[in-house]
Structure 1
């Protein structure tokens, strides 16, 4: 698995429409750059991301095996909505994602993903968006539905050799901890919860994964963009570029923390985005860091950031300023 992974939500028209050609160019550029891990989901563009990824990979021949992860937990049903943007995806197919963590729902979702991805096997299958953050008061019922049905389906798919590894893909490390109490999982995709802005996962969750032999893929290293853009540019000052954190307008406390991070990075002439991308990768339990990529230019920029030399002194300064958790390792 490559250290930098390709997050495929953008090629599902996340926030803005792309053409099939643009999506294909992004995937091909990633392969050329050495990226060998691609994450997608039925939810991303309501099948569009999986379809485009499958088509692009079918047209290329990578020199090394490609690893694909996709997700279950939602079924796509016909939609009558004419809205141009639904659930954050623009100009997507007329389908609506419907939560379903049952045995039958997971099996149906998996079969549909195989067709869209044009493959007969999935490397990593993840249960998508379990947790109170997504389901609120319905979470206990959804979790029971998954453990009684969906988890059994995923385990059977793994035992049959149709899936290599199973886990959860979520924005909450707490639900991953809870899942480990009830089942055996090979790993997790944790989005946005172990970054320069949030490091609580290194207190109990990541050590628990180490004890259980579960790997972690880190998604959302830029916390919805604020760690990629910073808060000081002229475009941001003019209001042309909004500051997002966890898919919402960034609160002032987060803006202030990012400004502090950005100032320290400027002292060492290192891009904040490079530090944000390399920080989570330093944890031994994290096997890949996913960046959402929509173009060849973004692929090239992310590859430059992941390979930017960062002085040890910068990591020391971040720790001295209490911007890093005491238990959080830094790159050597």
Structure 2
């Protein structure tokens, strides 16, 4: 496999770690919602690496280790990699074929268990490096902390992480087993809660700064700029609603979301631009955003995302989106000059 330099690279925080502006979200090749053949996963990764995508994000949660195994079997040493901690995988008897667990079909024979303690983080990291066949992880993220995954237990888990688990991540970085540390979450509130008590390099924020919603502009993104914390933007299509699917936030899209997505699509069509192209390119205009990582499961999807990433979009579209109230008036757009997070 060879890597090209056709995609721009951005630095993560103040570290030496860099990522391509377009990355590969590897939840899908963990059999998210449906099975993906080993061969198709291999082809998707190979196509991505050969066409300049040199950053992959995975996690133990994705297929209960399956995504990490597939990434580890195909990842070039020069590609940047992020994985996550916060869940420990306990061995179980293999479930019957076709079994779906936690959204993943035919995952590996492990059961995930939340553990944000020092020992839990270290155990998770050690298991991930074995599956990924790497001693060094470029970016290590604390996964799914906060109210959305934990509800009334959120404060309990956050306390354990801040009092124990964060120390493990900090030690791994200090020992140069990890290049950068951060959070991997779907909400802004937990980020604002954790930032004052940690020294993070990045936040993988899924779905909260997209063409559909820009609430992160109010507090989180300015705070990230102030602290020189880079954003890796996951879920740029908001679970599919911005590519013509009816899913939003991993579930059925509510009526108001469907209505806005259709309005965005009509305005994009009026300017001759595919809605997914605008959705993929928009987040990168913000100076805090280093990378956008759509999920991909096939070489065809990789090819499509590369085409969308390179689609020419007229300035008139961004102006029209703001004029129609479909885009936050203060949101930077690709027509604006983007300044680097780290000077």
Q: What TM-score bracket applies, with the shorter chain setting the length?
A: over 0.9
- 1:16 matched residue in structure 2: 34
Instruction: Please report how far the alpha carbon of residue 177 of structure 1 lies from its aligned counterpart in structure 2 after TM superposition.
Output: 1.1
Offset from partner CA, 1:109-156 (integer Å, 9 cap, x none): 000000000011000000000000110000011001101111000000
- Residues 86-101 of structure 1 aligned to structure 2 (within 5 Å): 86-101=101-116
Corresponding residue to 1:159 among 162, 167, 174: 174
Q: Which of structure 1's runs of 4+ aligned residues deviate more than 4 A?
A: 80-83
Match of 1:176 among 177, 191, 198: 191
- Report the secondary structure of 1:297's partner residue: helix
Cα distance in 2 between the residues matched to 1:327 and 1:37: 29
> What is the CA–CA distance in structure 2 between the aligned matches of 1:146 and 1:32, rounded to whole Å?
38
Instruction: State the distance in 2 between where 1:132 and 1:185 align.
Output: 20
Using the TM superposition, give the Cα deviation of residue 212 of structure 1 relative to its aligned residue in structure 2, in angstroms.
Answer: 0.4
Q: Which region of structure 1 is more displaced relative to structure 2, 317-326 or 74-83?
A: 74-83
Report the secondary structure of 2:197's partner residue.
Answer: coil
For 2:287, what is the secondary structure of its paired residue? coil
Distance between the aligned counterparts of 1:120 and 1:139, measured in 2?
Answer: 31
1:257 is paired with a residue whose SS is helix
Deviation at residue 192 of structure 1 after TM alignment: 0.3
Query: C-alpha deviations, 1:158-217, integer Å up to 9, x for none?
Result: 000000100000001111111111111011000000011110101110010011010000
2:84 is aligned, of 50, 71, 81, to: 71
- Consecutive unaligned residues of structure 2, counting only runs of 5 or more, are 1-18, 336-343
What secondary structure does 1:11 align onto? helix
Q: Map Cα deviations across residues 69-94 of structure 1 (whole Å, 9 max, x no partner).
A: 00000001133554611111011112
**Partner of residue 114, structure 1:** 129
Secondary structure, counterpart of 1:181 in structure 2 = helix
TM-score in terms of structure 2 length: 0.90
Q: Deviations over 1:288-318 (max 9, x none)?
A: 0001010000000000001100000000000
| Partners of 1:203 and 1:327 within 8 A in 2 | no
Of 294, 297, 307, which aligns to 1:294? 297
- Partner of residue 306, structure 1: 309
RMSD (Å), alpha carbons? 1.1
* Aligned counterpart, 2:23: 5
SS at match of 1:169: strand
